[in-house]
Amino acid sequence: MTTSPRVFVGFVLAAGLWFLSSSATAGTPDLPKDSYKKAAEADLAFLKQRLTELAKIEAAKEKVKDSQAKPAIGISMLLAVYADALGDGALRTDALKVAEAVIAKDYKGALELAKKMTVKPANATGKGDLPKLASFEKDKVKYLEHAMTLFRNKTILETPGGLHIQQDIRDLIRKDEPAKLDPAQVEILAVRAAVITEYATHYPNAKVKGKKDWEKWSKESVDFSKQITAEAAKGAKADEKKLRELLFNLNKRCNDCHFTYRDDE
C-alpha cells in the first residue's frame, strides 16, 4: 500500500491530537462485545510481537527508538479499554503495567508480563474508568502522541512502526484499483478507530481554542467507526460498497481535524 506521509487522516498526528475519555458513556464506545474481543486478541498479539522485537534490540545493547516503543504503549492503553468493555479486569491491570514498564524502558520485564496475558471476557463489563498512567499524568499530551502513532505503518527498524491503519484506509478508498476489502480486518480497524476517536474530545492539543468543531468532528468520527464496525461484523454478508463509503467519510472527517489542528514534530 502506498501513501504520502502528509496526506490522509487526522489520526496520524505527530505530537498527537487525541486520546482518552473518562467514563463508560464517554470513554467506551457502544460496540458489540464480540468486536471488542476480536480487537483485543489482535492487539494483544501485536503487543507481544512488538515487545519481543524491543527485547531483542535491548539484548543486543542497541538503542530502542521512541518510534519503536510508542506503539507498545499506545496498544497497551487500547487493550486496557477493550478489557474494561469485556469485563476482563486482569487484562486491564496487566496492560497498564506493561505500558508503565515500556515507559521505564524495561522491555524484557514488559515482555515477560505480556507473555502471560490472555483475553478472558466476563459476563459483566467494567466501570469504563479512564485508563491512566502515572508516568503521563503531568504531561497528558503523551496519551495523545502514543495513541496516534498506532495509525502509522508497521516498520520497526525505521519510523514510524505502528499498526498500518493510515495506509490501509487510504488503500481501501482509493478510486483506482482499491485494495481488497476483508470485513474481519475492517471490523478490527473500526474498533480501534472508534476507541481512539472517542478519546479525541477529551485531550485537545494546544491549537484548539474553541472545542465546537473539534467535538463535532470527533463525535462524527466515532459514529462512522461504529457504523463500520456494525457492518463489517456481518462478515460475508457485509455490504462492501457501504463499507467503502463509510471509510471514505471517516477519512474525510479525520482530514478536517488533521489539517486544522495537527501538531508537527
Q: In the numeric block, which cell numbers belong to residue 200? A: 479525541
Mean pLDDT for back-to-back runs of 10 residues, the chain (265 residues)? 38 35 54 96 96 92 90 94 93 97 97 98 78 89 82 62 85 95 97 82 68 76 93 97 96 73 55
Delimit the domains of the chain by residue range.
24-255
Q: What is the pLDDT of residues 109-134, one digit of tens each?
A: 999 999 999 999 998 777 776 688 99
Instruction: Give the global pTM.
Output: 0.84
Q: What is the pLDDT of residues 198-211, one digit of tens each?
A: 776 676 666 766 66
